[in-house]
Chains A and B, each alone.
Chain A
Amino acid sequence: MHKTDFARIGWISGGVIVWLIVYHFLQPVADWFVDSLLRMTPGARLAEAVRFFVFEYPKVMMLLLLIIFFVGIIRTFFTPERTRKALEGRRTFTGNIMASLLGVVTPFCSCSAIPLFLGFVESGVPLGVTFSFLIASPMINEVAIILLYGLFGWETVFIYISTGLVIAMLAGAVIGWLKLEKWVEPWVFDIHPEQQEEEKTLGITLALRMQAGWDAVKEIIGKVWIYVALGIAVGAGAHGYVPQGFMISLMGSSAWYSVPLSVLIGIPLYSNAAGIVPIVSVLIEKGASLGTSLAFMMSVIALSLPEMIILRKVLRLPLIFTFIGVVGTGIMIVGYLFNWIF
């Protein structure tokens, strides 16, 4: 290890310690802000709504900053090329499991969905395995994980990650088992990429990895800060004003139609996790059941209309509908399962 690398690790550790101290004092500072500075009456609706926002927003942004930085560093170890190599020619269920797990850590944005899909399919990654990757990658998203942790705690994060992985594995396996290659646009199999030299990722230094982490922070926070603010503001508003139990008839566990309805509503909604999780937290607080809310959130994140439109370039409609149907069914099973357990 290079000498300056020790200095860099020192800086990171120092940063984490400062972060922990600030994070620890967020609640007292938020209380001080609401009670002493604004002189609001504790317990009043407006005071509690303001307190919710003043505490939750910085908390979530700090969690985002920390996690995205480290996820950004971890992702420099996983390139799409390496992932593809690991998945080539894997036909059995192992391929679906690996693809789902790699989908979580491989960097991927929806505008790269097509090149990634083509790159995988052409080099011999089976269709079902490719789909496991394409489902897991947006579904298990670091922003959603942080928000769920911040608003619900780690148990919910665990449920979310494990059920998300299971859906990605099984949906991919079903798509593979149905042998739907005939619904992939035929030209897809006719491209034969020239063999380019392998990029030398071995020479990547710690400085570059940290740069990548920092770039990820700037990019993601630059994109989501406003949605997080809006989501938490809506949450804060509902927090003080919508009566407890308001959502029971619509999204409570006794309404059998609530799960499929939430999945259907979730598909056309904006695909950003940042705005939806705070709203989901309020739905639950106001009486919506966990399974229904989880199904709604997964549908918003994993089944996005813009991505379907992009994928239409390479996939025929029956395959896209199968994809929506299989993933949607998986999400509904998760919804019913959790309504039944809790």
Chain B
Amino acid sequence: MMDIKILGTGCPKCKALEKLTREVVAKASIEATISKVENVIDIMRYNVMMTPALVVNEKVLMKGRIPSADELQRLLTNIA
């Protein structure tokens, strides 16, 4: 079971990344829990200075940008 977290304080980009992640996970039928981390203090624990960031199994995979659907799917299926 993959543990996916989207870090972001609620800016439009963060919402876009969450939506995209949900779509890709559903499409590639990856077994995962997706949650959103909005508290700044919790975000800082991951040492992230640019939101949104994508955290999979407690590792920061990407920060400060939104990947394309293809790129995200490749990233996630590589881990699964």
Contact = CB atoms under 8 A, between A and B. Distances in A.
Interface of A: 79-81, 84, 107-109, 111-112, 114-116, 118-120, 122, 187, 191, 193-196, 199, 212, 215, 313-314
Given A80-B50, A191-B45, 15 more contacts: A80-B49, A109-B11, A111-B11, A111-B13, A111-B14, A112-B50, A112-B64, A115-B40, A115-B43, A116-B50, A118-B44, A118-B49, A119-B44, A119-B48, A122-B44
B47 interface: yes
B9 interface: yes
A106 B64 CA distance: 12
A196 B47 contact: yes
B60 interface: yes
A120 to B, nearest CB: 8
A193 B47 contact: yes
B74 interface: no
A contact patch SS: helix
Counting chain B residues whose Cβ lies within 8 A of the other chain, the interface size class is 20 to 34
B58 to A, nearest CB: 9
A112 B51 contact: yes
Contacts of B50: 80, 107-108, 112, 115-116
A311 B8 CA distance: 16
Interface of B: 9-11, 13-14, 40-41, 43-51, 59-60, 63-65
Contacts of A120: 49
Contacts of A187: 41
Contact of B47 (A108, A195, A215, A314): A195
Given A107-B64, A111-B13, A81 B49 contact: yes
Nearest to A83: B49
27 contacts: A79-B64, A80-B64, A108-B50, A109-B11, A109-B13, A111-B9, A111-B10, A111-B14, A112-B11, A112-B49, A114-B40, A115-B9, A115-B44, A115-B49, A115-B51, A116-B50, A118-B44, A119-B44, A119-B47, A119-B49, A187-B41, A193-B47, A194-B47, A195-B47, A196-B59, A199-B60, A314-B40
A313 B40 contact: yes
Contacts of B65: 212, 215
Contact of A194 (B14, B45, B63): B45
A191 B41 contact: yes
B68 to A, nearest CB: 9
Contact of A111 (B46, B51, B59): B51
Contact of A196 (B40, B46, B64): B46
B51 A193 contact: no
Contacts of A79: 64
A313 B40 CA distance: 9
Contacts of A314: 40
Nearest to B51: A112
A199 B50 CA distance: 13
A122 B10 CA distance: 22
A183 to B, nearest CB: 18
A120 B49 CA distance: 9
Contacts of A122: 44
A114 B47 contact: no
Given A115-B50, A116-B49, A193 B44 contact: yes
The interface centre, meaning the residue of A108, A112, A187 with most chain B CB atoms within 10 A of its CB, is A112
Nearest to A215: B65
A138 B27 CA distance: 39
A108 B65 CA distance: 11
